[in-house]
Structures are given as structure tokens and as C-alpha cells.
Chains A and B, each alone.
With several copies, the nearest count.
Chain A
């Protein structure tokens, strides 16, 4: 009998179970690092669409999802992918063509919104953004906000400081909590119960996971419970927050996973080149996403040579002297 604490399932089943058309979804990682790419490619293969996507700074995962027309609404601080695409190409195009509705925040605001969701408070305050159009220019209409109870009735609000000018601030900006239906993160190690250990920067993954109704974890290594218990200080997310665990080595590829592999800058450049042209982009998707049945086949297509070339040096956590462009 499967223990109730065992949450391991195949990635395809996890996406099937938790990611539905129209879902409010958030994905972990930052631009070209630790994006849950295997899960994202599976969402695309399953043609799940109409997603409401929440990210702070994202790049690779964001542009694949938008390029696949999976996203209809987007709340975001930054859409860029490092040197390969200072502004994400399909993202920019979708905004210009009005294929997605967008609501712009700052990076701190988006992080605070996930944090508010994780804390269980309706909002958090910041002193960021006064005077900027982030406060005054809204992407989502009031009507749209009213029709979805998962959205706050306002993009954000300004409150007087109830303590006068205590703390050197007469007023604060408050940003509404985000509690996604589903968050997907990719981590270095997880156990079958779902406890996660992230190596290197955690970005806002911890807050995103704790804010979410359901959480899919994909992991490089599925380890024994004991392996994670030796040092609980290195485990950022205890199992109670996690819905299911999928063991997907190279599940962050082509983004970097600290201590395991680097980003594949040739893949990111190939993607960026394809993204500039609709026909080329369709060919790219047909070959690399729809042309394979799962992440394993995708990695076979990429080939062992490229995976070896990005292998992380155990000391520094990245591929030392890797050819980058």
C-alpha cells in the first residue's frame, strides 16, 4: 500500500491532475535559472490554455508558455532572458498584438504579493512605486477584476500610515496577496513527502509555494527522507505545502540549476532566434516540444554532448569556462 505521505507521481499525471485550462498559475525560478521547464513543456504538449500566469522576473519559461498561446492573462515585473533576449520576444509580441492582458508590477511588489499569500494576509505594504505609472496605469479592467474572486478589486492601493509619519513614511503602497491555484517549482532535491532543498538563491520560490493551493515540485534528485533530515537548515519548504513530487532530472533545462548544470546559452539563443519569426517558431515548437513525447525524449534530442557541456563544476556550482554567447 502506498503510504499517504508518498506524493511521488509521473510529471504527466501531475500536470493532468493539477493544471487546468483557466487556472491561476505561478512558476518558480528567475529569468534563465531554475525554471520548471519540464513541467512547462508538458503543459504546452497538453495544449492547456487560458492560463492566468503570475511571475516576478521570468524569461525562458514565460516565453515558452506565451509562445504556445497557453497564457491569456499575465501579472509580471520583468520579462527578459539574460543576454539572449533582454526583452522576451514572444512576450513582447503578444503584448503588442494584444494576445495577452498584462498587469505590470515591480519585482519587489510581485515578491511581496507572493509573500502576502504565503503569510495569509490580504496585502503587504511597501514604499516602492509612488509617482510611477505602476500605481496609476492599470492593465486589467475593474470589470475583469470583479468577475474573478481570485483577483483583488484594485491593482494596488495607497494607505495613510496609521502611526502618523512613524517610520519616516506618511503613506504606504499596499499590494494584494496572490494565492495561485497551482505553483510549479523545480528544485535540486526533494523527498517522497515533498520536503524541498534548494541550493543557491531561492528567488521567491518559497513564498510562491507557500501561497499556492496546490504545488507541483519537480526535482533533480528524489532522495530518501533521511538524506534531507541531516540538516533541516538547508530545507526551505517542508512537505505540508507540497501536493506532489515528480522526479525529473534536467527538469530545469535549458535554464540553470545551481550545483547541477548551467544554462544552455546555445539553446536560449536558438530559441530567441526562432521566436523572432512565426514560421521558424512553429518549426522550433514542432521539433523540440510537440515532436517528443516527454522530457526524456527532449533531452535525447538535445543530446548528451550539450548536457555534458553545461555540467556544473562541483566547487563553484556552474560550468567553469563554459562557452557562452
Chain B
């Protein structure tokens, strides 16, 4: 049994995401918490994982945490500095693409793991405008496994996206394949309350794990749509070792953890 450590929601999210990364994975990372999850995986459970960025840097040293994927900090000590087109080709190409796991965020997610990072409201007359796809749509199209980081809130887990930016399982069943996509898209959702995955057959989200102190019911209350909670089990809490490495090795200055 794991000892009873105290930790913040951000810490448990980071560690849960890190556990999704296997040794040897090529990790497509953004900045902030996704960067931290990638670093945590490398230091805890996946020493041979490789971090790369859509801007074209592969396996950068990252002595300081970058604040953007175009931060000069990612250009130092990389294996190669390539072009934007090369970075996306690495994921579109099945030989390398199938080894990639991506970490994404979004303003909205639906039951099929489709993501919206474009706008709230009608596209022609939006109420809120976000940054847009960036590489999100490309990554969700190409990569077999994507981790979505989300805050678990009703307005974010919605019945219908205001705009479908990045394809998940589309409308379930074979719709992803029928649309012309290879298998992939968001395969796991890591929130401040628990971990959701997607049913192989139906393509629908289900609750896989709930965090200590959180009930499946509480998770349902924080979503606009209903998901299957029958398979849900308690998550193994972060271990002492995981927390220690995360805090002391990955973000000693608490640039992201705070």
C-alpha cells in the first residue's frame, strides 16, 4: 500500500499522466503541466522516453522549463533542430508516429474525446475565442495515444462541442475510421478528480479511476454528460517516491507546481 502522502490536485494529475508514458515512448509535449508530466515520466518510470515539440526540437536538455513551445530553452542541446513540417511528419509517419504519445489540453471535451480549442458559441459569432488548433488537430489525427489534461467542470465536459477542433472518436463506433482517420485521438483524460478512458467498441468515455477522497458520483456531477462508472476503481495514490522526484527533481523551484 502506498503511504498516505498529501499532495495537490496538480501533483496527482501530473503523476497520473506520467504513469501513462511507457519507456521508449516519444512524448509530444506542450508547456506547463504537460511538460512537467513528460519530465516526471522520464525521471520515474520511462527513462528512455524522448520529449519533442511541434516546433521541431527533439530530445532537448530542458535545463530550464520552457514557457512556450517556441521558447529558446528547447533549442539547446537537442538531438536535432528541425522544421515545423518535420515535427508533424514524425507523427503522420506510421513508423515513428505509432511510438508517439501526446499530451493535449482543451476548453471543451465531449463523450467521444473530441476537443474544442477554437471558440465558445457559434463560429461566426463566438462568445469566447481561444487560440485555435495549433498542432492539436494534427496530433489528434495522427497519434495513437493522447492524454487530455482537463479541469473537471460541467462547462468543459459538454454534451456538444461548440467547435470540433481535434478529432477523438468523433461519434463513436467506426466513425473515426470511416472519416478517414487512423486509430488514435484522446485515449485517456486526466483531470483533478479522476481518469477516464474510452470503450474500444462504442468509443464512449468511461470512468477508469477516481482519486482518493473523490467518489464516482462527484465526478458525474461535474460533467454535462453521463459516463459509465461501473468499471471504476480507486486510483493508486502518488507514492512517496513519485512525489519526491516530482518535487525535488522535476520542479524544485515550483514554477509549475505552484
Contacts and interface: CB of A to CB of B under 8 A. Distances in A.
- Do A and B pair up? The answer is yes
Interface string B159-177: 0000111110010000110
B135 A31 contact: no
Given A95-B126, A201-B55, A31 B68 contact: yes
A168 B64 CA distance: 40
Interface string B94-138: 111101000000000000000000110001111111111111111
Interface stretch (B4-12, B149-157, B179-187, B216-224): B179-187
Given A32-B68, A204-B83, A229-B79, A128 B57 contact: no
Contacts of B70: 29-34, 57, 82, 201, 203, 256
A118 B89 contact: yes
B67 A132 contact: no
From DSSP, what is the main secondary structure of chain A's interface residues? loop
B78 interface: yes
Given A57-B134, A238-B58, A256-B72, A131 B67 contact: no
Given A77-B133, A120-B97, A203-B55, A33 B89 contact: no
Interface stretch (A9-17, A278-286, A294-302, A316-324): A316-324
B59 interface: yes
Interface in A116-151: 117-121, 126-134, 137, 139
B199 to A, nearest CB: 18
A213 B175 CA distance: 29
B79 A203 contact: no
A200 B68 CA distance: 15
Interface string A226-259: 0011101101111111000000000000001010
Contacts of A238: 58-59, 78-80, 82
B236 interface: no
B69 interface: yes
A119 B71 contact: no
B77 interface: yes
B31 interface: yes
A216 interface: no
Interface in A189-210: 193, 195, 200-204, 206-207, 210
Contacts of A195: 79-80
Q: Which 3 A-B pairs have the closest CB atoms?
A: A82-B68, A120-B93, A78-B134
